[in-house]
Structure 1
Amino acid sequence: MSKPDSKQLRVVAIGGGTGLSTLLRGLKRYVAAPGTKPLSPENCSNIPCLIRELSAIVTVTDDGGSSGRLREDLNMLPPGDVRNCMVALSEDEHMLSRLFQHRFASGDLQGHSFGNLFLAALTGITGDFAQAVQTSSQILATRGRIYPSTTSYATLAAQMDDGSLVYGETNITASKRSIVELMLEPADAGPLPESLEAIANADLITLGPGSLYTSLITNLLVRGIPEALAASKATRVYICNLMTQANESLGLTASQHIEKILDHAGAQIFDYALVNIAPLRRETIVQYAREGQEPIEADLERIRSLGVEPITGNFAHEGEVLRHSYEHVAETVLQLALKR
């Protein structure tokens, strides 16, 4: 990537799950290390320090596993997705990843990860989950700010295609029915003012990749966030998933993913959509077919008809698991913002 005229961007990445933390690994390479000169190339892994401020807005509706237990036992927001983002943005990611992802195998702590307990302890000390996240980010010298999408103790509810209502993220994900509409209870759950400020000041905003409903749309149910995205003058990019997901997006094309998001947002919140068009290896397709998943159809003309310009390419990394190539995705979205 060629170095622009010292132009630096304010970037906001919205999502949850492994999709958001994967993207943050790519974006953080363009952020100067804490306490160093922002425009010093050696502080950005020998690439231009293109990002002035990096903010992540993270879903906090998980009610399963360690996060769900802490949510219920301590009446706190679930820390799992936030923990993953902290690790992704930290300076010493390898060691912290091992430490924060470590799960206790026995005793009363069985199933809990150290990172979740760390955030729970800081929440108890500060009395505020959002403050605990900021404090831990300072301790870990993260290259960005992390905000929970809401500080309300919120629960997901979904109306299914048979008219039934399912409550809780775990139950929604496990349901065999298709989701018609996702809701947040309380419906007036509000965001942190810092999140709205970051969106208002952003030059680039991304949504995705991640589970269509439980990682992406859930953020758009928070009061004020879709309105802020619609009003933003930033370059707004949807990063499309590589595969459909059973119980959330089975059979949906790329444009249908976008339609579901726009329907819940109630406004146009995208300028571009990053869509993988490179064929996947047969072994990968067979592996994911066992889980009822298949590559997402790139119906580009239908995407354009929604007022969104598709950006196509090979954005997949096929390892033991299929993930986005975070280096390529990060470079592509940054170039889009710089051109505008």
Structure 2
Amino acid sequence: MRSVPPTALRAVAIGGGTGLSTLLRGLKRYVAVSGATSSGCADGPCQLADLAAIVTVTDDGGSSGRLREDFNMLPPGDVRNCLVALSEDEHLLSRLFQYRFGQGELEGHSLGNLFLAALDDLCGDFALAVQHSSQILATRGRIYPATTDNVSLAALMDDGSHVHGETSITASKQRIHELYLEPAEAHPVPETLEAIRQADLISVGPGSLYTSLVTNLLVRGIPEAIAAAKATRIYVCNLMTQANESLGLTASQHIQKIMDHAGSYRLFDYALINTAPISPASLAQYAREGQAPIVADLDAVRALGVEPVTGNFVYEGAVLRHDYDRVAETMLQLAVKGRP
């Protein structure tokens, strides 16, 4: 059995897209697994007694969008990425679940999405399908959709127009002024609120500001639960601005936009912000899309009641990603330290 100290923490990670699954890869190394033969997690005893991921469910593009339309189900793509990230045998499962059919009626669909669609049909409940998937795949953590209501994203743009659907919002050339759900009264999965209530560590991000992060906080009850939680609450700031979502926004402006959409609740104690330099080659690659490193305006972050934690959190590969080992380690240190 893995060694689990009596002070082991309960963690909740909120987000979507590749940002959430990247973070989960770092955190899962610290999760106790029943029946495992290792003497510990990562470099020492298991520091996490429990890990829960709360995942956005508003995607309407690609394979997820097609399944959503054809089977009247919630989009499985972001959940699939989290299942892969938290699985014990991630390498094999990743190859299998991320496999996309290249021809015929299944062209463009990933096997993982079809797996979740089949379970959803068998269970008649998407949250239950996700739970069974986690059990089948022996994930080191639980995965909850933010809501099981059939909601879509809509946005009021800076020119006064309204755009409906996540794909259309991200493709728009206008800036997002306000994001909202249709219908507005989306209900959270009860287990998500209980996980937040019991958590010692809550993280939001990294991920697309509006379509991966804010969308979770539009579900009634979730921002209120985070605000009332006893946990250490951490915002993981993106590395770069993002076209159509956050071009030109500083670190503090990201936090302010989240707070504005969450009822102005104070949601964060700390903000992890990368201050390490990024190579000229990567900067040039992103500049072609108009993207740039997010400005670390630390005094403005503090003025929002959030303590910035700076460091080298970047990993440079074919694309820029957070170094999930450094991020996870820093988050756990802050959780042990407690609120500032």
Q: Which band: TM-score by shorter chain?
A: over 0.9
Are 2:333 and 1:327 aligned?
A: no
* 2:21 corresponding residue in structure 1: 21
The answer to whether the Cα contact below 8 Å between 1:41 and 1:47 also exists between their aligned partners in 2 is no
1:62 CA drift (Å) = 0.1
**1:182-331 matched pairs, under 5 angstroms:** 182-266=179-263, 267-331=265-329
SS at match of 2:188: coil
Distance 1:23 1:297 in 2: 21
TM-score (norm 2): 0.97
The answer to whether the Cα contact below 8 Å between 1:21 and 1:84 also exists between their aligned partners in 2 is yes
Match for residue 106 of structure 1 among 103, 107, 114: 103
1:310 CA drift (Å) = 0.2
Q: Where does the alignment leave 5 or more consecutive residues of structure 2 unmatched?
A: none
* 2:123 corresponding residue in structure 1: 126
The answer to whether the Cα contact below 8 Å between 1:34 and 1:143 also exists between their aligned partners in 2 is no
Distance 1:195 1:304 in 2: 29
Distance 1:95 1:246 in 2: 33
Distance 1:104 1:115 in 2: 11
The answer to whether the Cα contact below 8 Å between 2:155 and 2:162 also exists between their aligned partners in 1 is yes
1:319 CA drift (Å) = 1.0
Number of residue pairs the alignment of both structures matches: 335
SS at match of 2:173: coil
SS at match of 1:44: coil
The answer to whether the Cα contact below 8 Å between 2:12 and 2:202 also exists between their aligned partners in 1 is yes
User: Which 4+ runs in 1 deviate beyond 3 A?
Assistant: 3-6
1:46 CA drift (Å) = 4.3
Kindly provide the CA deviation profile for residues 170-214 of structure 1, in whole angstroms up to 9, marking residues without a partner as x.
000000000000000111101110000000000000000000000
1:5 CA drift (Å) = 6.0
1:7 CA drift (Å) = 1.6
1:34 CA drift (Å) = 3.6
Kindly provide the CA deviation profile for residues 218-265 of structure 1, in whole angstroms up to 9, marking residues without a partner as x.
000001001101111100000000000000000000000000000001
1:47 CA drift (Å) = 2.8
Match for residue 85 of structure 1 among 82, 92, 99: 82
Are 2:67 and 1:52 aligned?
A: no
Distance 1:292 1:96 in 2: 35
The answer to whether the Cα contact below 8 Å between 1:41 and 1:48 also exists between their aligned partners in 2 is no
* 1:176 corresponding residue in structure 2: 173
TM-score (norm 1): 0.97
The answer to whether the Cα contact below 8 Å between 1:239 and 1:273 also exists between their aligned partners in 2 is yes
Percent sequence identity over aligned pairs: 72
Distance 1:6 1:195 in 2: 24
